[in-house]
A and B are shown apart, each in its own frame.
Chain A
Amino acid sequence: MPIVVKNLTHVYMPGTPFESVALRDVNWKVEDGEFWGLIGHTGSGKSTLIQHLNGLLKPTSGEVIVDGVNLSDRGVNLREIRQKVGLVFQYPEHQLFEETVEKDVAFGPRNLGLPEDEIARRVKEAIELVGLKYDEIKDRSPFELSGGQMRRVAIAGVLAMKPKVLILDEPTVGLDPRGRDEILGQIVEFRKKQNMTVILVSHSMEDIAKLVDKIAVMHKGRMVDSGTPKQIFKNYEALASMGLDIPQVTHLMIKLKNRGKDVATDVMTVEEAEAEVLKAARRKGHA
């Protein structure tokens, strides 16, 4: 179920004194099963872009085509599109509202008009996919859970709709390191199990570098770059000028290279850096 974005422009409040162009001529193709990271400074247009992918916003001009369907066409069943393209907003736990975890996660599938036994099955599966124990948690109030657990319940609510594409907007913001690693680990797991396409919006290059296949960079409403993480991080100077960081170890390798050391600079994780430094040190007989 590929998503194709063609010449997408979006203007907020056109024709008013508050008119502002949020997206300018964006072109993007997301293939089945890909894992994308979408990065950019606040106000770069990331959130506006993802809200077009399930029809929450309509293009001012250009097209968004999901699974062959142009979302601007008359008579498009947006409900069906939103079931296929699940969107998890920032702080999704603010959207929890039911008395129990089970009811909250069941809300989406129930709105789809599914039979009760199917709803029950999906709810259980979704809760387990986010790494929570169904029997222990199903009857608890979502509001007495920890921040990380609440967020996972909110994600389960979207997973229970069985989307083909899952978009997560800053899923780890405000969590402690363990909570962050748990959520990211679960995303990797359920992506594999459900064979989903995932788009992760994040400010954390270190997280993105570890997880995704491809990165798209937004800047001032334009998609200025896209490619594999290694390709993207090569342009570290351009990224820095847009207020974006690269992983610390990537930065380290670039600085070593600039000092004339024979090391590869396309390193993104601590493990890769360790291997690279050891290799270079061995050549000099220091390890």
Chain B
Amino acid sequence: MAAEILAEGVCYQYSRSSQMALKDVNLRIGKGEFVAIIGPNGSGKSTLAKLFNGLFVPTKGRVTVDGLDTRDRENVWKIRQKAGMVFQNPDNQIVATVVEEDVAFGPENLGVPPEEIRRRVDEALEIVELKDYAQKPPHQLSGGQKQRVAIAGILAMRPEYIIMDEPTAMLDPVGRKEVINTVKRLNREEGKTIVLITHFMEEAVQADRIIVMSEGRVLMEGSPREIFSKVDELKTIGLDVPQVTELAHRLKGRGLAVRSDVLTIDEMVECLCPLL
């Protein structure tokens, strides 16, 4: 059985819409990868995420998770356990009045035995670095902490894949860093496969691979360096590039001998030092 999420010829049409939200999308998310999906509003990113764990089923084509076809109703629960989702607004995802009860909610619903739930909750809170908050009411936490509680709730269900739909959109810069550091750790240390949908390019830069969506199609796919070196194309569809990437692109255009695939401030410093 293939360990991957596979989208083959996927089209999706919302019932009240005359247009296709996704048009012939073909993608593979391999186990252990950290993939970022970027694209302007309305490009189909969130629709795609919801197809990955069977919340939506394709109008045409098919999506399989570890070989399980999302169109088959019998697979739905297996797929949702394999592929957990984290959404934008932490307040909409928290159901209990105590942090650890919230994290236990998922495994309880899966019918996991109590002692095993205890173990999983402790472990999940440890991973998101909120062990000291286990007994706290969630409303006393910051946005970044709440979003980490939501992530712990998903982790306690022991998914292989974690799909995140703009998990940092409503957070301040500190909360964003907290969540992104957690996401990186889930991937590097826990071996979770991550699909991160984001508008923040400095987050996308951290992924192994970036998928760029535009008007319901996959426009580009590649490493952060490959993608962000296409400054003009990204700007045309209304996306940002990091300031230093744009600066490198402009300087190159003015005849300066700099690389055009600079992603970080430190790389840019190294690039410019010999010239100044």
Contact = CB atoms under 8 A, between A and B. Distances in A.
18 contacts: A148-B41, A174-B166, A177-B240, A178-B239, A179-B41, A203-B172, A206-B243, A243-B174, A245-B173, A247-B243, A248-B243, A261-B272, A261-B276, A274-B247, A274-B251, A278-B256, A284-B275, A287-B256
Interface in A214-250: 243-245, 247-249
A181 to B, nearest CB: 8
A42 interface: yes
Contacts of B250: 270, 274
Given A177-B238, A249-B244, A274-B247, 16 more contacts: A42-B143, A42-B172, A42-B174, A174-B166, A177-B240, A178-B239, A179-B41, A203-B172, A243-B173, A252-B247, A252-B265, A252-B268, A256-B272, A270-B250, A274-B251, A287-B255
A177, A243, A281 pick with most chain B CB within 10 angstroms: A177
A263 B41 CA distance: 38
Contacts of A259: 269, 273
Interface of B: 40-42, 88, 142-143, 166, 169-170, 172-175, 199, 238-240, 242-244, 246-247, 250-251, 254-257, 265-266, 268-269, 272-273, 275-276
Contacts of A176: 40-41, 199, 238-239
Contacts of B275: 281, 284, 286-287
A178 B272 contact: no
Interface of A: 41-43, 146-148, 173-179, 203, 206, 243-245, 247-249, 251-252, 255-256, 259, 261-263, 270, 273-274, 277-278, 280-281, 284, 286-287
A274 to B, nearest CB: 5
Contact of A277 (B142, B174, B251): B251
Given A41-B172, A277-B256, A278-B256, A146 B246 contact: no
A206 B243 CA distance: 9
Nearest to A147: B41
Contacts of B269: 252, 255-256, 259
